[in-house]
Every structure is written in C-alpha cells, then in structure tokens.
Amino acid sequence: MGLTKEEFTQAVLEHSRAMFRAARAVLEQDADAEDAVSEAVLLAWQKRGQLRDLAAVRPWLVKITVNCARRLRQKNGRMLYFDDLEQVSGGQADRRYHVLWDAVLTLSPESRTVVVLFYYEDLTVEQIGKALKLPLGTVKSRLSRARERLRAMLGEEVEER
C-alpha cells in the first residue's frame, strides 16, 4: 500500500511549511531547518510504503522532520544564532503575531518544539508524544511551562486577548 508518487508529491507540497516550522522549532538557523526538511523528504520517500492511512500524512511528515532536525541539532551541537532568527510566518501577519513568534523563539528548544507542534501545527498531545518519543505527561508539562513563560514575557499583551 503506501503513497503513490503523486500522493507523496502533493503531501510534501501541501505540508512543506509545516515541516519547515517544525524543523525551525528545533533548530536555530533557517539553513539548518531547510537541510532537515530536505533530509526528511528523502527519508519519507524511502519509507512511503509504511504509511497506511493517507489522513495521517501530515503528522507522519512532521514527525520525520522533527526527528531529522533533532539528529542535525545533536550532530551540530547546541549553538544558538540570535542574528539569524527570522519570522517564518510568511505573509502580512500583524505585529502581535510577530511579537508572539519572537517570544516563542526565545523558549528552550524542548519547549519551543512542543509549542510549535501544538499551536502552529495543530498536532494533538498524543501525536506530539509519539513524534518526540515522550510520555504524555512530559508533553503536557512542557506546554504548561511554556505557556507560563510566554505569559510572563508578554505580560499585558497576553492579557489583552
């Protein structure tokens, strides 16, 4: 079974932004995130026969991308390049979005990853746990701590909503 060539191509095109955001949540440089996405596409292509449910293609691609990004981060070490942090929203998002995204980028890699996967990629806690190979309690506690940290950083801007 698995994905046909056309289905695979369509899935990658449709979910490439999600894959990039997921990789960028783990890695600090856009170029590294792009490398992780490229590696993930190749790996997904090689394993496309293992995917049984076409509806699960998005979490499957994101999981592969996160794993590739984590391997790349381990290989490269944990260097943080604040000069290269950019907006990855693409488009004319308002100032509030950019302030929030900047705050998310300052979180630890572990917290940033779960926040991006949960809020930006709409993965469930269960899907995040599987993708990151973490217990559900760990995912929930990282989300909770990240929310607290974001509230503290953003102060009144969070209260306005």
| Distance of alpha carbon 38 from alpha carbon 41, whole angstroms | 5
Give the pLDDT of residue 94. Answer: 52
Measured between alpha carbons, how far apart are the two ends of the chain, in Å? 46
Q: What percent of the chain has pLDDT over 90?
A: 36
Q: What is the DSSP string of 60-122?
A: HHHHHHHHHHHHHHHHH-S---GGG----S-S---HHHHHHHHHHHTS-HHHHHHHIIIIIS-
pLDDT digits (tens, 9 = 90+) for 74-129: 887 644 444 444 444 444 445 666 778 788 888 888 898 899 889 888 889 998 99
Tell me the two tokens of residue 10.
């369509």
Give the pLDDT of residue 40. Answer: 95
CA angle 75, 81, 85 (to 5 degrees): 115
pLDDT digits (tens, 9 = 90+) for 35-58: 999 999 999 999 988 888 888 899
Q: Whole-number mean pLDDT of the chain?
A: 82
